Amino acid sequence: MKIPFNKMQGAGNDFIVVNNLELGLTGEQLSQLAKQTCERRVSVGADTLIAIEAAKNGGDFYARYYNSDGSEAEMCGNGARCVARFAYEIGLALEEMVIESIAGDVPAQRLSERIYRVQLNSPAVFKQDIVLQVEGREIIVDYVELGNPGIPHLVVHYPDLAMTQLETILDLGRELRNHPAFEKGANVNFYDLLRDGHVVERTYERGVEDFTLACGTGTGSTAYVLNKKGLTPDNPVKVEVLGGQLQVNVEGENLFLIGDTNRVIEGTIIDENLNL
């Protein structure tokens, strides 16, 4: 089976984008496609596969997000920015659009050829200063769920994060991601504040089960927590991730994620190992 696709990335978060309006693949097939084609070295490689489908509730289109392990995610902030650009450039949407998702509607806007802004799902749950027992010590975390059903995020302060090798906090990220206190598990966003007011962030993503170069909803959750706790005076909050910089405008309960997009590859998947 030949599958047309675009490879895109935003702040280093990379995606395989397919037009399921044309392909007509089932959810089970999309899950298998993600699991096989997102695997690096042996196929295209990506953090997430995004499939565009027909709108269900008056939006411009519906986007389904599949992690590299084949599990379906509620939404993806950087993925929404990339798929907004894809939809605009194939004529599926105008410069302002509404992307439907499991977690709810996501308004998106084209600011320039490569810069896109999306309004993340508003926080439905916010719990501050939760004390967890991890690796024999107490860890204080904040918990945020964006949308309904919510995308779960932990926000964890980690001093000197910019100088910290990810291998040294990999086990901690994994333990927090799977902590029994959170029924759905959680993405884990470590952060530190720099003197210039910028934020450093490193995210361990569920579904990918590793650190990624960026996580849009994680960045939004981190900016929300810092804003609510009065820890950063800046708005937009500028967040330095491994893949570059993202900005988040926090306007009450409304979160706007802004950043660059990049179309990397346009082609056809002919992977002979595909089993759909």
Binding residues for substrate: 13, 67, 77-78, 187, 205-206, 216-217
Distance between CA atoms of 63 and 120, rounded to whole angstroms? 14
Task: Specify whether 215 is catalytic.
Answer: yes
Distance between CA atoms of 25 and 16, rounded to whole angstroms? 15
Q: Which of 118, 215, 223, 269 is catalytic?
A: 215
| C-alpha separations of 54 from 24, 58, 65, 84, 104 in Å | 10, 10, 14, 14, 15
The answer to whether 122 and 146 have CB atoms below 8 angstroms apart is yes
Distance between CA atoms of 49 and 68, rounded to whole angstroms? 7
Q: To the nearest 10°, the Cα dihedral for 37, 40, 43, 45?
A: 50
- Can you state the percent helix, strand and coil of the chain, rounding each to 5? 20, 45, 35
Distance between CA atoms of 4 and 10, rounded to whole angstroms? 20
Task: Specify whether 82 is catalytic.
Answer: no
Q: Which of 49, 73, 76, 82 is catalytic?
A: 76
Annotated catalytic residues are 76, 215
